[in-house]
Amino acid sequence: MRDNAPNSWETRADANSLYGFTDLPSVQERGTVVLTHGEGPYVFDVRGNRYLDSNSGLWNMVAGFDHPGLIAAAQAQYARFPGYHAFFGRMSDQTVMLSEKLVQVSPFDRGRVFYTNSGSEANDTMVKILWFLGRAEGHPERRKILTRWNAYHGVTAVSASMTGKPYNSVFGLPLPGFLHLTCPHYWRFGQPGETEAQFTARLGRELEETIIKEGPDTIAGFFAEPVMGAGGVIPPSAGYFQTVAPILKKYGIPLIADEVICGFGRTGNTWGSQTYDFMPDAIISSKNLTAGFFPMGAVILGPDLSDRVQAAAEAIEEFPHGFTTSGHPVGCAIALKAIDVVMNEGLADNVRRLAPRMQAGLAEIARHPNIGELRGIGYMWALEAVKDRATKTPFPGTLSVSERIANACTDQGLICRPLGQSIVLCPPFILTEPQMDEMFDKLDRALRLVFAEVA
């Protein structure tokens, strides 16, 4: 529990920190967990406590917290060329090599890459690209952006407008022209008596009706996570992308796959769009791109968008957008190594091998009467707590059930993430079978403790 002494870590954190996405009552009661270092999938706090981090930091520390190859890649590049930009016709050799690698491992036969510092900035950049194209091609009215309720695309003013979360209303968002369609979560949003196929078909009709109502020539693009991550690990309903992709193609609306969380192995394939068998027009990447060892995002444009953006930029002699640290040489060197680590050093293989075991272990835990749904794929899963399983009735929000479960997990030495009424587990790709069992045991104990109090 927290130490309220004037020089305690908890007091010092409170005095100088503005917490983001943090349950402040928990911090006030329990204090901030101040971490010092990590080993494999574990992190350690200032008091020497060890925690199995089943959230991979924030989805991104997929190779653990002390991978020697990634550390060596960073150290070598810092010694060789510690920083530069990608403006004015200059960029590092590492940036060139990473762009080649990203196009090579993408589903596109050719393309172009633009770098940012985060997934939020990459989604923001993609919107600007679409707006840029609209004006350059004589359609300045083509500005509306389609996403889904419960989607998460970032925290900039534009990417937060795409994020279909009610908390953004405190900022006066979304901005005009950002339209949110039904979340493709059949368990929660399917109507009584509606089959999953009928639910998917209804969402397809909603999309086409929205396009017609708004006017196809006013819509710049459709953004979708293959699996909604921060929405609570929500896989699409069966056939969802096979339903929406042809509709978007019919009206000439680009489909942008936000692969910030799913990309580079989280769903068991390199890209979530491969897992769900659809071809996007562009991919947004971040998080696993550098295995969390450097802040970086990337917009990977497919052939059609690449050609159109290049033509539009050449017409005015530049693409007037960028960031000081876009294509940072250290970040690119780390990303090159991270891609190799995930794809060629057994991490992706480990996800594919152990994902069925993770699903089976969580399914056993999900037999508890206060778990309404287990959902997920690969190494991303969520357990949704309910007061009544038969009616899917959630617990009262005042109980803060998922926060209580997450706190109980922390007390057990396990870090997991509360999202709405769900508990999310997205462990590092290096997780072993004994570590997975440790995760199951600690989670099960925490759930039993909390449900005994509130059920």
pLDDT confidence bin for 105, thresholds 50/70/90: very high
Of 323, 344, 365, which residue is a domain's last?
A: 344
Angle between helices 329-344 and 68-80 in degrees, nearest 10: 150
**pLDDT on residue 113:** 98
The predicted-structure confidence for 398-438, as pLDDT tens digits, reads as follows 999 999 999 999 999 999 999 999 999 999 999 999 999 99
**Angle in degrees, CA 157, 309, 260, rounded to 5:** 45
Q: Do 358 and 397 sit in the same domain of this protein?
A: yes
Q: Do 288 and 272 sit in the same domain of this protein?
A: yes
Who contacts 355 (Cβ-Cβ below 8 Å, separation ≥6)? 268, 377, 378, 379
Give dist(CA 345, CA 175) in Å, integer. Answer: 43
Q: Which residues pair with 299 in a beta bridge?
A: 114, 284
Residue 265, sorted as left (phi over 0), alpha (psi -120 to 50) or beta, turns out to be: left
**pLDDT on residue 2:** 82
3-state secondary structure of 266: coil
Q: Do 138 and 251 sit in the same domain of this protein?
A: yes
The predicted-structure confidence for 236-280, as pLDDT tens digits, reads as follows 999 999 999 999 999 999 999 999 999 999 999 999 999 999 999
Who contacts 412 (Cβ-Cβ below 8 Å, separation ≥6)? 442, 443, 445, 446
**pLDDT on residue 125:** 98
Q: Do 163 and 51 sit in the same domain of this protein?
A: no
Residue 4 confidence (pLDDT) above 90: no
**Residue 14 domain-assigned (yes or no):** no
E strands along 96-143, which residues?
112-116
Domain with 302, as residue range(s), is 70-344
The predicted-structure confidence for 122-146, as pLDDT tens digits, reads as follows 999 999 999 999 999 999 999 999 9
**Residue 8 domain-assigned (yes or no):** no
Q: Which residues pair with 178 in a beta bridge?
A: 145
**pLDDT on residue 250:** 98
Indicate which CATH number applies to the domain containing 259.
3.40.640.10
The predicted-structure confidence for 65-101, as pLDDT tens digits, reads as follows 999 999 999 999 999 999 999 999 999 999 999 999 9
- For the chain, how far is it from start to end, CA to CA, in angstroms? 25
**Residue 154 domain-assigned (yes or no):** yes
Of 292, 316, 344, which residue is a domain's last?
A: 344
Instruction: Give the DSSP letter of residue 382.
Output: E
**Residue 123 domain-assigned (yes or no):** yes
**Residue 215 domain-assigned (yes or no):** yes
Q: What does the mean pLDDT of the chain come to?
A: 97
Q: Do 253 and 390 sit in the same domain of this protein?
A: no
The residue whose two tokens read 């710049």 is 220
Q: Do 340 and 350 sit in the same domain of this protein?
A: no
Q: What's this model's pTM, rounded to 2 decimal places?
A: 0.96
**pLDDT on residue 167:** 96
Indicate which CATH number applies to the domain containing 427.
3.90.1150.10
Q: Do 148 and 261 sit in the same domain of this protein?
A: yes
Of 316, 344, 372, which residue is a domain's last?
A: 344
Q: Average of pLDDT values for 322-326?
A: 96
**Residue 28 domain-assigned (yes or no):** no
**pLDDT on residue 83:** 97
**Residue 164 domain-assigned (yes or no):** yes
Is residue 119 within 8 Å of residue 287, measured between CB atoms? yes
Q: Do 200 and 82 sit in the same domain of this protein?
A: yes
**Angle in degrees, CA 448, 377, 449, rounded to 5:** 5
Q: Do 226 and 331 sit in the same domain of this protein?
A: yes
Residue 1 confidence (pLDDT) above 80: no
Rg of the chain over CA atoms, in angstroms?
Answer: 22
Q: What is the domain count for the chain?
A: 2
**pLDDT on residue 3:** 87
Retrieve residue 136's tokens: 């350059």
Q: Do 335 and 361 sit in the same domain of this protein?
A: no
DSSP H or E run through 200: helix 196-214
Retrieve residue 228's tokens: 């909604």
Q: Do 273 and 366 sit in the same domain of this protein?
A: no
Q: Do 331 and 399 sit in the same domain of this protein?
A: no
Q: Average of pLDDT values for 317-326?
A: 96
**Residue 1 domain-assigned (yes or no):** no
- Nearest CA-CA partner of 222 in 236, 205, 210, 234: 210
